[in-house]
């Protein structure tokens, strides 16, 4: 069975269980039978369709690391646990997603790739032109365990930064996997910054990477899909 995974922890952007519930609802409308898993230490406020998994201790330790970016940017190093051997418990094929995404059409085709890992290459050059976005990728758990096992905290943060990559977990993922793994072609994944007005006609998933979020966006099309 397909698995969709998102993470929720206390951070500067104010993500809440109710946001996870809406994300799960959008996936139910746009993806055939699947598990929807939220890795979190929160226990209340979730709908019955959200399967909860406590944050593993190994991930929690990484979550204590600070991002080298300016204040207000989230530190997402704990998500590197997705590349651990233990992550095999999540299933055979997992779509990792940020909470702040809007689905506008079916995402069935994103699971069609039968390879260990498929990343999304953002169009914006921030963080390096070869970077892999940290907020959405398809992985067969147990693949590329070197991303988790080779991470040595601040030493690795500095290493990825020196190589020109920006962000927290996405900097390290990009440093380890760029040029080594496939990325989705034009499959309808966009950043909200990629367009003005209504999303492109081929859009299926819009990432709100920035301070604007679906729950505070003043856009008519968001109200249509974010529910």
Cβ atoms within 10 Å, residue 8: 21
Cα separation of 7 and 171, whole Å? 18
pLDDT tier at 24, thresholds 50, 70, 90: very high
| Structure confidence at residue 130 (pLDDT) | 82
**Phi, psi values for residue 205, rounded to 5°:** -150, 125
Cβ atoms within 10 Å, residue 164: 14
pLDDT at residue 127 above 70? no
pLDDT at residue 11 above 90? no
pLDDT (average), residues 52-62: 98
Q: Which residues sit opposite 52 in a β-bridge?
A: 38
For the stretch 143-158, what's the b/e string if a residue is b when 16 or more beta carbons lie within 10 angstroms of its beta carbon? bbeebbeebeeeebbe
Cα separation of 7 and 208, whole Å? 15
Structure tokens at 14: 């104010």
Rounded to the nearest integer, the mean pLDDT of the chain is 94
Write the pLDDT tens digit of every residue in 171-225: 999 999 998 999 999 999 999 999 999 999 999 999 998 888 999 998 999 999 9
Positive or negative torsion for Cα 34, 35, 36, 37: negative
Cα separation of 87 and 84, whole Å? 5
Question: What is the β-pairing status of strands 136-139 and 117-119?
Answer: antiparallel
For the stretch 45-63, what's the b/e string if a residue is b when 16 or more beta carbons lie within 10 angstroms of its beta carbon? ebeeebeeeebbeebeebb
Write the pLDDT tens digit of every residue in 93-109: 999 999 999 999 999 99
pLDDT (average), residues 111-131: 85
Range list of H helices, 40-104? 57-62
Write the pLDDT tens digit of every residue in 129-178: 788 999 999 999 999 999 999 999 999 999 999 999 999 999 999 999 99
| Structure confidence at residue 73 (pLDDT) | 82
Cα separation of 8 and 14, whole Å? 10
Structure tokens at 79: 């998500």
Residue partners of 224: CB distance under 8 A and separation at least 6: none
């Amino acid at each position: 069975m397909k698995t969709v995974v998102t993470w929720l922890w206390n951070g500067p952007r104010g993500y809440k269980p109710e946001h996870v519930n809406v994300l799960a609802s959008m996936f139910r409308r746009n993806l055939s039978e699947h598990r929807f898993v939220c890795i979190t230490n929160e226990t209340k406020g979730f709908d019955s369709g959200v399967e909860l998994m406590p944050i593993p201790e190994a991930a929690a330790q990484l979550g204590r690391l600070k991002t080298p970016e300016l204040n207000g940017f989230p530190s997402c190093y704990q998500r590197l646990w997705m590349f651990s051997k233990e992550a095999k418990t999540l299933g055979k094929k997992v779509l990792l997603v940020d909470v702040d995404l809007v689905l506008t059409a079916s995402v069935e085709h994103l699971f069609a790739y039968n390879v260990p890992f498929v990343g999304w290459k953002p169009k914006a050059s921030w963080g390096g032109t070869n970077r892999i976005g940290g907020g959405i990728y398809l992985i067969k758990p147990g693949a590329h365990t070197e991303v988790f096992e080779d991470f040595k905290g601040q030493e690795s943060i500095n290493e990825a930064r020196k190589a020109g990559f920006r962000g927290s977990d996405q900097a390290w993922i990009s440093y380890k996997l760029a040029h080594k793994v496939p990325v989705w072609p034009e499959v309808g994944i966009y950043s909200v910054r990629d367009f003005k007005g209504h999303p492109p006609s081929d859009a299926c998933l819009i990432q709100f990477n920035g301070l604007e979020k679906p729950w505070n966006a003043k856009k008519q099309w968001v109200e249509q899909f974010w529910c």
